[in-house]
């Protein structure tokens, strides 16, 4: 599916970042965790005062995906044409683009072997109006990814301007200390990932949502990353400190995740 977009809707997208998206893993023609992706898109539409798209048409396109192994599916929603400047009054129906691309095969290796995690020098700014949303403006992530490339890091922990742990550059973050499991509180920034939501649903009240300094992460017994494409990835070391190879929760969650679409 490559829906034709009105040029004025495109203008709002690239001039104002007026839209949001989700990136999904299609396996054998089926989008994994589609209900969680749809729920996040619906919530974003409400928060951005954007009309919801034709979900039946989107469902039809997703159902028609070819059975071709693993693919990346990106669904982008842009505010419809109309309005002037920042104004949204009179904007038309939300515009939809669905793009399919090859799957990054190295994620399978990451899941099996784990990765070494650095700590980014760049910080995420506070943005409570957009906290949790995956808007089309990803410039902070572009700059953070440039830092990873410059430092030759696979991934990195990102702190906010107050020095609290937020997420990784392209993933959400969990850690375990003893029997307790933690994930960062995202009221002022970050992205509420769909796999983050799935993990929190699986672990229930065991997960504590916290505002934590980097020292809490450095003291962890186990750390793992999540996003819809990489799945669940164990962390072998943080900033050069080995975590000892105890991936017990990560491996258990990986097994559960492989059993679902």
Measured CA to CA, the distance from residue 129 to residue 110 in angstroms comes to 33
Three-state DSSP state, 256: helix
Active site residue: 167, 170, 183, 226, which one? Answer: 167
Confirm whether 145 is a catalytic residue. no
Measured CA to CA, the distance from residue 176 to residue 182 in angstroms comes to 6
Measured CA to CA, the distance from residue 18 to residue 152 in angstroms comes to 32
With beta carbons less than 8 A apart as the criterion, state whether 75 and 57 touch. no
Measured CA to CA, the distance from residue 144 to residue 169 in angstroms comes to 6
Place of tokens 């969650």: 253
- Phi first, then psi, for residue 34 (nearest 5°) are -55, -40
The 8-class DSSP code of residue 18 comes to -
Confirm whether 167 is a catalytic residue. yes
Q: Which residues, 6+ apart, have CB-to-CB distance to 182 below 8 Å?
A: 174, 175, 176, 207, 208, 209, 210, 212, 216
Confirm whether 134 is a catalytic residue. yes
Active site residue: 22, 76, 94, 134, which one? Answer: 134
Which residues are registered as beta bridge partners of 184? 210
Q: Which residues, 6+ apart, have CB-to-CB distance to 218 below 8 Å?
A: 238, 239, 241
Catalytically annotated residues: 23, 134, 167
């Amino acid at each position: 599916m490559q829906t034709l977009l009105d040029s004025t809707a495109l203008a709002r997208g690239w001039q104002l970042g007026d839209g949001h998206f989700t990136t999904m893993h299609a396996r054998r023609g089926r989008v994994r965790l589609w209900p969680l992706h749809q729920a996040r898109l619906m919530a974003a539409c409400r928060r951005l005062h954007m009309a919801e798209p034709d979900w039946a048409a989107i469902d039809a396109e997703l159902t028609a995906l070819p059975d071709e192994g693993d693919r990346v599916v990106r669904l982008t929603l842009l505010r419809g044409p109309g309005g002037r400047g920042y104004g949204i009054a009179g904007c038309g129906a939300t515009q939809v683009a669905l793009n399919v691309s090859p799957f990054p095969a190295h994620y399978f290796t990451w899941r099996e072997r784990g990765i070494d995690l650095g700590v980014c020098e760049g910080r995420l700014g506070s943005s409570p109006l957009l906290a949790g949303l995956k808007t089309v403006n990803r410039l902070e992530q572009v700059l953070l990814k440039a830092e990873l490339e410059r430092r030759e890091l696979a991934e990195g922990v990102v702190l906010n301007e107050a020095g609290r742990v937020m997420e990784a550059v392209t993933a959400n973050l969990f850690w375990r200390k003893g029997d307790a499991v933690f994930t960062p509180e995202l009221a002022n920034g970050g992205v509420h990932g769909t796999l983050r939501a799935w993990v929190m649903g699986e672990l229930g009240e065991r997960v504590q949502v916290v505002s934590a300094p980097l020292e809490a992460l450095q003291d962890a017994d186990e750390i793992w990353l999540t996003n819809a494409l990489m799945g669940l990835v164990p962390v072998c070391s943080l900033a050069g400190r080995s975590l000892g190879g105890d991936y017990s929760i990560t491996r258990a969650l990986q097994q559960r995740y492989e059993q679902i679409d």
